[in-house]
Structure 1
Amino acid sequence: MSRIAYVNGRYVPHGSAMVHVEDRAYQFADGVYEVCEVFGGRLVDETRHLDRLDRSLRELRIPAPMDRRALLTVMRETVARNRVRDGLVYLQVSRGVARRDHPFPDPPPAPALVVTAKSLSAAAGDKAAASGVSVITVPETRWARPDIKSVSLLPNVLAKQQAKEAGAREAWFVDPEGRVLEGSSTNAWIVTHDGKVVTRQADTHILRGVTRAAVSDLIGRRNLTLEERAFTVEEAKAAAEAFITSASSLVIPVVRIDGAPVADGQPGPVATALRKGIHDVTEMSHVVTPPFV
Structure 2
Amino acid sequence: MSRVSYVNGTYRSHAQAVVHIEDRGFQFADGVYEVWGVFDGRLADFDGHMTRLHRSLNELQIAIPMTSAALKRVLDETIRRNRVRNGIVYLQVTRGTAPRDHAFPKDVAPSVVVTAKTIDPAKGEALATKGAAGVTQPDIRWGRCDIKTVGLLANVLAKQAARERGAYECLLVDEMGLVTEGSSTNAWIVDADGKLRTRDTQANILRGVTRTKLLQIIAEEGLELDERPFSVDEAKQARELFVTAASTFVMPLVSLDGTKIGDGKPGPVATRLRAAYLEQADRDAI
Bin the TM-score by the shorter chain. Answer: over 0.9
Q: Deviations over 1:203-241 (max 9, x none)?
A: 241001111111111111111011111110000000000
Question: Retained in 2: the 8 A contact 1:145–1:204?
Answer: no
Partner Cα distance (1:4, 1:22) in 2: 23
TM-score, structure 2 as length reference? 0.98
Q: C-alpha displacement at 1:14, in angstroms?
A: 1.5
Q: What does 1:186-265 correspond to in 2, within 5 Å?
A: 186-265=185-264
Q: C-alpha displacement at 1:16, in angstroms?
A: 1.6
Say which SS state the counterpart of residue 182 (structure 1) adopts: strand
Q: What does 1:100-111 correspond to in 2, within 5 Å?
A: 100-105=100-105, 107-111=106-110
Corresponding position of 2:17: 17
Say which SS state the counterpart of residue 34 (structure 1) adopts: strand
Corresponding position of 1:63: 63
Partner Cα distance (1:51, 1:204) in 2: 19
Q: C-alpha displacement at 1:192, in angstroms?
A: 1.7
Say which SS state the counterpart of residue 193 (structure 1) adopts: coil
Q: Check if 1:134 corresponds to 2:133.
A: yes
Q: Which runs of 5+ in 1 are unaligned?
A: 287-293
Question: Retained in 2: the 8 A contact 1:42–1:284?
Answer: no
Corresponding position of 2:161: 162
Change (3 A) 1:23 1:157: same
Corresponding position of 1:29: 29
Partner Cα distance (1:35, 1:15) in 2: 22
Q: C-alpha displacement at 1:30, in angstroms?
A: 0.2
Q: C-alpha displacement at 1:193, in angstroms?
A: 3.1
Partner Cα distance (2:199, 2:140) in 1: 18
Q: C-alpha displacement at 1:281, in angstroms?
A: 3.6
Say which SS state the counterpart of residue 22 (structure 1) adopts: coil
The number of residues matched between the two structures is: 285
Task: Identify which range, 115-124 or 276-285, moves more after superposition.
Answer: 276-285
Q: What does 1:45-60 correspond to in 2, within 5 Å?
A: 45-60=45-60
Q: C-alpha displacement at 1:266, in angstroms?
A: 0.7
Partner Cα distance (1:231, 1:7) in 2: 42
Q: What does 1:85-104 correspond to in 2, within 5 Å?
A: 85-104=85-104
Q: Deviations over 1:225-280 (max 9, x none)?
A: 11111110000000000000000110010100011000111110000111111034
Q: Which runs of 5+ in 2 are unaligned?
A: none
Question: Retained in 1: the 8 A contact 2:63–2:110?
Answer: yes
Corresponding position of 1:80: 80
Partner Cα distance (2:74, 2:225) in 1: 36
Q: Moved runs in structure 1, 4+ residues, more than 2 A?
A: 279-286
Say which SS state the counterpart of residue 284 (structure 2) adopts: coil
Question: Retained in 2: the 8 A contact 1:144–1:204?
Answer: no
Partner Cα distance (1:202, 1:271) in 2: 21
Partner Cα distance (1:133, 1:279) in 2: 18
What letter is aligned with 1:200?
R
What letter is aligned with 2:248?
S
Question: Retained in 2: the 8 A contact 1:214–1:281?
Answer: no
Partner Cα distance (1:24, 1:158) in 2: 22
TM-score, structure 1 as length reference? 0.95
Q: C-alpha displacement at 1:87, in angstroms?
A: 0.2
Q: What does 1:118-133 correspond to in 2, within 5 Å?
A: 118-133=117-132
What letter is aligned with 1:72?
K
Percent of aligned pairs with the same amino acid: 54
What letter is aligned with 2:92?
Q
Corresponding position of 1:291: none
Alpha-carbon RMSD across the aligned residues, in angstroms, is: 1.0
Question: Retained in 1: the 8 A contact 2:133–2:167?
Answer: yes
Question: Retained in 2: the 8 A contact 1:3–1:14?
Answer: yes
Q: C-alpha displacement at 1:195, in angstroms?
A: 2.3
Say which SS state the counterpart of residue 251 (structure 1) adopts: strand
Partner Cα distance (1:260, 1:2) in 2: 43
What letter is aligned with 1:97?
T
Task: Identify which range, 247-256 or 274-283, moves more after superposition.
Answer: 274-283
